[in-house]
Amino acid sequence: MYTGKLVFAQVMEVAPWHTFRRLVAKYRGDFNVRTFSCLDQFLCMAFAQLTYRESLRDIEACLAAQPAKLYHLGIRGKVSRSSLADANETRDWRIHCEFAQALIRIARRLYAKEPLGVDLDNTVYALDSTTIDLCLSLFPWAPFRQTKAAIKLHTLLDLRGAIPTFIFVSDGKLHDVNVLDLLLPEAGAFYVMDRGYLDFDRLYVLHQAGSFFVTRAKSNFKCKRIYSAPVDRGSGLICDQQVELTVFYSSHGYPERLRRIRYKDLRTGKTLVFLTNHFGLPALSICALYKSRWQVELFFKWIKQHLRIKRFFGTSQNAVKSQVWIAVATYVLVAIVKKRLNLDLSLHSMLQILSVTPFEKLPLHQLLTEMAPMEETSAASNQLILL
**The pLDDT of residue 379 is above 60:** no
**The pLDDT of residue 168 is above 70:** yes
Q: What is the pLDDT of residues 245-295, one digit of tens each?
A: 999 999 999 999 999 999 998 888 899 999 999 999 999 999 999 998 888
**The pLDDT of residue 126 is above 90:** yes
State the Cα–Cα distance between residues 278 and 190, nearest whole angstrom: 9
DSSP-H helix ranges across the chain: 7-12, 17-26, 38-51, 56-64, 70-73, 81-90, 94-110, 200-208, 248-253, 283-291, 294-306, 317-340, 347-356, 364-370
Q: Summarize the confidence of residues 221-243 as an average pLDDT.
A: 92
> What is the CATH code of the structural domain delimited by 194-287?
3.30.1370
Tally: H helices and E strands in the chain: 14, 10
Which residue(s) pair with 273 in the sheet? Answer: 262
**The pLDDT of residue 239 is above 90:** yes
**The pLDDT of residue 4 is above 60:** yes
**The pLDDT of residue 360 is above 70:** yes
Q: Summarize the confidence of residues 41-60 as an average pLDDT.
A: 93
The whole-number pLDDT of residue 121 equals 82
In the chain, what are the domain boundaries?
A: 194-287
Nearest alpha-carbon partner for 318 in 143, 95, 147:
95
**The pLDDT of residue 376 is above 70:** no
Contacts of 26 (CB under 8 A, 6+ apart): 95
The mean of the pLDDT values for the chain is 89
Q: Summarize the confidence of residues 175-192 as an average pLDDT.
A: 93
The backbone torsions φ and ψ at residue 374, rounded to the nearest 5 degrees and listed phi first, read: -70, 115
Nearest alpha-carbon partner for 321 in 127, 97, 134:
97
**The pLDDT of residue 59 is above 70:** yes
State the Cα–Cα distance between residues 99 and 307, nearest whole angstrom: 18
Share of the chain above pLDDT 70, in %: 95
Contacts of 129 (CB under 8 A, 6+ apart): 152, 153, 154, 155, 176, 179
